[in-house]
Amino acid sequence: MSSQPGTGNHFGQGGVSDDAVIPGGTLLASPDFDRTTFSTAPREGRGTARGHHGELLQGVFEWSGGLHRGLVTLPCPTMSTEVTVRITEGAPAWTVDPPWKTKALRAALATAGILGTGAAGGTVSVRSNIPSGFGMGSSTSDVTATIRAVLNAFGRDLPTSRIARIAVEAERAADPLMFDRMLLFAHREGMIIEDLHVRMPPMKVLGFVARPDPVETLAFTPARYSSWEIECFRALRGLLRRGAREGSVQALGRVATASARLNQRFLRVDRFASLLQVMADSGAAGIQVAHSGSVVGLVFDAADPDLARKTALASRGLLRVGISRTWEFCTEGDDEHLPDP
Amino acid sequence: MSTFRIREPFADAVESAVLPRLIRLSGGLYAAAFQLMKLLPAQFVLRRAMEQGLLTERTTVIETTSGTYGLGLAMVCRRLGLPLILVGDPAIESPLRRRLEDLGARVSIVSGQAVRTGGIQQARLDRVERIRQRHPDSFIPGQYDNPMHINAYGRVAELITESFPRLDALVCPVGSGSSSTGIAGFLRMVWPELILIGVDTTGSVLFGAPNGRRRLRGLGNGLLPQVLDHSLFDEVHWIPAKDAFATTRRLHTDHTLFMGPTSGASYHVARWWAERNPGATVLAVMPDEGHRYQRTVYHDAWLGREGFAGDEVAKEPLDIAHPGELGQVWSRYPWGRRTRAQVVEERATLDAR
């Protein structure tokens, strides 16, 4: 079942969305109540969001009779952003630190506008370990953590689907980092194409970079798929559903590999044929890429009893291809991403 | 954690029938049973042509076909309100012709002098060209040449990948080549090792065998369609009409699945492959239902009159060294994902020795 886009323009109304609501505080505590009764100290809010390691699948997909660009991201809990918002009463100006995080600033302004915070402004302080230009969702992570921090500061909630749309408005295209489950997400529209309703089965990922130069995500021209490629994404989507239903890393790995192969025409990964060979030789379930970035990952079933041997084999294989700098993470790590109470 | 999906009524009769039902026959042997497979490319090609502005509601659709593709086009054109002219030959069955005309299609039959001088295929193409000149606003779907017929099968590939975590082999009857090229091409993106087995019939030139009379219509071809990608096939089987008819009946009695003779040929090969590969999952594509064949394949007196009596069929295919050596029995050739030119050249090399 897909969530309807564009329903509801105000938070807190019943039936806005069936999506999970971020428990950012109590709805009863209005900002006025908060300020006059409890504290004269400046109010603070905190929000966090994780990053991702590119996509399991990216392409065009049918939804409600039309075609939409969409993607499924691969969660990367070791990458995260933490945002602190300090409210300044009576001064409706917003600033961000570091100052070049302008998308986070836009997201803070948009969220404040939706909440109707009136005369209040604030400072947004962004701390992130996600490098930009690698296709790891650094800007969406900044934006999502910022929206959560502003909500937290004002003691308010918004449905996750609403947060997604604010993120898209703030940065033109956003990844579905605000959701905690697998979904096919229209990243340019902020809309769920298909909700798989399950968390991704735990995967071990051996990551590396595809090419030395970073990619500016928005400057990168969107892929112009052929008619055959557009229809081919249907086969990938079918296996995505089957893999999600069975929790099968093997099936999802094949989806990722196919998506990476289709993306070669648009953003090449160097030595791709050799990488496919390393995948086959090491028994990896698949290879996944950042479709508009530079990270690549060999994907393994984290529950595989033979995991250590396979990843060691893959590391040695990569070394032979000339890739010595690699990293490892598990998609089902400590990825608690809800704002701290 | 189960995913939740609510069923909805189909938007129309065409939409209700474009996708096959996936049916378990026994063990790892499954059927992809279509009511009328050709509905899918007919719907897809006409819809895309409309989206691309190649086709408006005033455009006349013209195609040469005497078979199920004509029926598919007639149903889709009726739903879309498009005029349709089908060019066929005198062998068109009268119940089919009546059905096409009921659906508003004009059926133009080539016969007589034109056929005797240039052959039936050329006569049909000439007729299409003449009709086209009289209809300046026309669209020819071109089931043998237009690659959009391949792309139509993405929806079938989606149904298959959604239904099977893995598939070892796909058995496809080949006529125009669009279903096998389409389904297998898409499936290979996620399952590169998938074995594709083509089912052809004696007398068909599709895979380099000698041209001859084909008693089993709808399977094989006397021409070489451009949409057929030979390099996808691992293995090719040629099924004689008699064996196909007998196994069509057997599919009905064994599994109560009432299908046409190309489905019987597909079942024959798939069952043999499944027995030789226990534990493997194999899917046999079955293109149409049995109703059209009740007075022929499902009629013992007709079978007897035509020399197809008896239900004994070969248990094993004959392995042949080259398609050029094909006789009148069920035969098998390891195509090995080569182009047709590569296989034909190999013949030249064999002959030279």
Give how far A78 is from chain B: nearest CA, Å.
26
Residue B319 and residue B237 in one domain: yes
**Is the CB of residue A313 less than 8 Å from the CB of residue A283?**
yes
Same domain (yes/no): B182, B107? no
Asked if B45 and B148 touch (Cβ cutoff 8 Å), the reply is yes
CATH code at B312? 3.40.50.1100
Shortest Cα distance, chain A CAs vs residue B2, angstroms: 7
Task: Identify which of B154, B165, B191 has the shortest CB distance to residue A248.
Answer: B165
Any domain includes B9: no
Q: Which residues contact A315 (CB under 8 A, 6 or more apart)?
A: A206, A326
Q: Is A109 helix (H, G, I), strand (E, B) or coil?
A: helix
In angstroms, rounded to a whole number, what is the distance separating the alpha carbons of residues A69 and A59? 6
**Interface list for chain A against chain B, based on CB atoms closer than 8 Å:** 1, 196-198, 227-228, 230-239, 241-246, 248, 250-251, 254-255, 257-258, 261-262
Minimum mean pLDDT range among A46-50, A334-338, B237-241, B279-283: A334-338
- The nearest alpha carbon in chain B to A241 belongs to B162
Residue with the bigger pLDDT between A92 and B247: it is B247
Residue B6 with chain A: CB contacts under 8 Å:
1
Provide the pLDDT for residue B89. Answer: 86
Q: Find the CB nearest B4 among A1, A237, A241.
A: A1
- Average confidence (pLDDT) over B282-296: 96
10 Å Cβ neighbour count for B145?
12
With an 8 Å Cβ cutoff, are A261 and B189 in contact? yes
Asked if residue B310 and residue B334 are part of one domain, the reply reads yes
Q: For position B231, what pLDDT does the model report?
A: 98
Domain boundary among B102, B120, B139: B139
DSSP B278-303: TT--EEEEE-BBSGGGTTTTT-HHHH
* A158 SS3 class: coil
Percent of chain A whose predicted confidence (pLDDT) is above 90: 72
Last residue of a domain, one of B139, B172, B206: B139
CB B36 within 8 A of CB B116: no
Residue B4 lies in a domain: no
Chain B CB contacts of A261 below 8 Å = 189
Determine which helix (DSSP H) or strand (DSSP E) holds B86, and give its type and residue range.
strand B84-88
User: Using a CB-CB distance cutoff of 8 angstroms, which residues of chain A are in contact with residue B5?
Assistant: 1
| Chain A interface includes B165 (CB < 8 A) | yes
Q: Report the distance separating Cα B231 and Cα B240, nearest Å.
A: 24
Which residue in chain A is spatially nearest to B162 when comparing CA positions? A238
Q: Is residue B351 part of a domain?
A: no
- Return the pLDDT at A11: 31
Q: Which residue type occupies A210?
A: A
Q: Is the pLDDT of residue A92 over 70?
A: yes
Q: Which of A227, A244, A254 sits opposite B190 (nearest CB)?
A: A254
Radius of gyration from C-alpha coordinates of chain B: 20
In the prediction, which pLDDT does B112 show?
Answer: 76
User: Between chains, do B4 and A197 touch, taking CB under 8 Å as contact?
Assistant: yes
One domain, residues B29 and B43:
no
Whether residue A227 and residue B5 make contact (CB cut-off 8 A), yes or no, is no
Mark whether B96 and B222 lie in a shared domain. Answer: no
Can you give the pTM of this predicted structure? 0.90
Residue B2 clears pLDDT 80, i.e. is over it? no
pLDDT number for residue B182: 98
Domain membership flag for residue B256: yes
In a domain, B353, yes or no: no
Q: What is the pLDDT of residue A333?
A: 60
Confidence of residue A219 (pLDDT cuts 50, 70, 90): low
CB contact under 8 A, A235 and B187: yes
Quote the domain boundaries for residue B93. 39-139
What is the ipTM score, two decimals? 0.94
Q: What is the mean pLDDT of residues A3-27?
A: 34
Query: Are the beta carbons of B189 and A262 separated by less than 8 Å?
Result: yes
Q: What amino acid is encoded at B13 in this protein?
A: A
Q: Is residue B352 part of a domain?
A: no
Q: Are residues B250 and B155 in the same domain?
A: yes
Split at pLDDT 50, 70, 90, the class of B125 is: confident
Q: Is the dihedral of CA A20, A25, A29, A30 positive or negative?
A: negative
pLDDT, average across residues B140-161: 97
Distance CA A219, CA B183 (A): 35
Give the pLDDT confidence score for residue A132 in this predicted structure: 87
Task: Clarify whether residues B67 and B209 are in a common domain.
Answer: no
Question: Nearest C-alpha of chain A: how many angstroms from B190?
Answer: 5
Q: Please, are residues A218 and A137 in contact by the beta-carbon 8 Å criterion?
A: no
CB contact under 8 A, B3 and A237: no
- The better pLDDT of the pair B1, A63 is held by A63
Place of tokens 């209809």: B135
CB B59 within 8 A of CB B50: no
Any residues with CB less than 8 A from the CB of B85 and at least 6 apart, and which?
A: B60, B61, B62, B63, B105, B106, B108, B131, B135
B7 — contact with chain A (CB < 8 Å)?
no
pLDDT score for A341: 32
pLDDT (tens digit per residue) in A125-142 = 999 999 988 899 999 999
**Closest alpha carbon within chain A to B151:** A228
Q: What total number of domains does chain B contain?
A: 2
Query: So what's the pLDDT on residue B88?
Result: 92
Indicate yes or no: CB of B157 within 8 angstroms of CB of A238: yes
| Residue ending a domain, choose from B111, B139, B167 | B139
What was the pLDDT predicted at A118? 78
Model confidence band, residue B330 (pLDDT cutoffs 50, 70, 90): very high
How are beta strands A183-186 and A191-195 bridged, if at all?
A: antiparallel
**Domain identity same for B98 and B165:** no
pLDDT at position A301: 97
- Looking at beta carbons, which residues of chain B come within 8 Å of A245? 2-3
Contacts of B165 in chain A (CB under 8 A): 242-243, 246, 248, 250-251
Q: Do A235 and B161 touch (CB under 8 A)?
A: yes
Whether B154 and B283 share a structural domain: yes
B283 in any annotated domain: yes
Distance CA A66, CA A78 (A): 36
Same domain membership, residue B302 and residue B331: yes
Residue B191 lies in a domain: yes
| Pairing outcome for strands B331-333 and B318-319 | parallel
Listed range (A167-171, A205-209, B189-193) with the worst mean pLDDT: A167-171
By mean pLDDT, which of A16-25, A176-185, B211-220 is the weakest? A16-25
B227 part of contact set with chain A, CB < 8 Å: no
Contact residues for A199 (Cβ-Cβ < 8 A; gap 6+) = A180, A181, A182, A332
User: Does B4 reach chain A within 8 Å, measured CB to CB?
Assistant: yes
Nearest CA in chain B to A237: B158
- Mean pLDDT of the region A54-65: 95
C-alpha B252, offset from chain centre: 19
Q: Cβ separation of A238 and B161 shorter than 8 Å?
A: yes
Q: Which residue of B has its CA nearest to A197?
A: B3
Q: Tell me, yes or no, whether B200 and B331 share the same domain.
A: yes
What residue of A is the nearest CA neighbor of B166? A251
| Residue A2, pLDDT above cutoff 50 | no
Based on the fold, state whether residues B305 and B198 are members of the same structural domain: yes
Mean pLDDT of all residues in chain B?
Answer: 94
Cis peptide before A77 (omega within 30 of 0): no
Measured between beta carbons, the chain A residues lying within 8 angstroms of B189 are: 232, 235-236, 258, 261-262
Gap from B147 CA to chain A (nearest CA, Å)? 9
**Residues of chain B numbered 174-203 and touching chain A (CB < 8 Å):** 185-187, 189-191
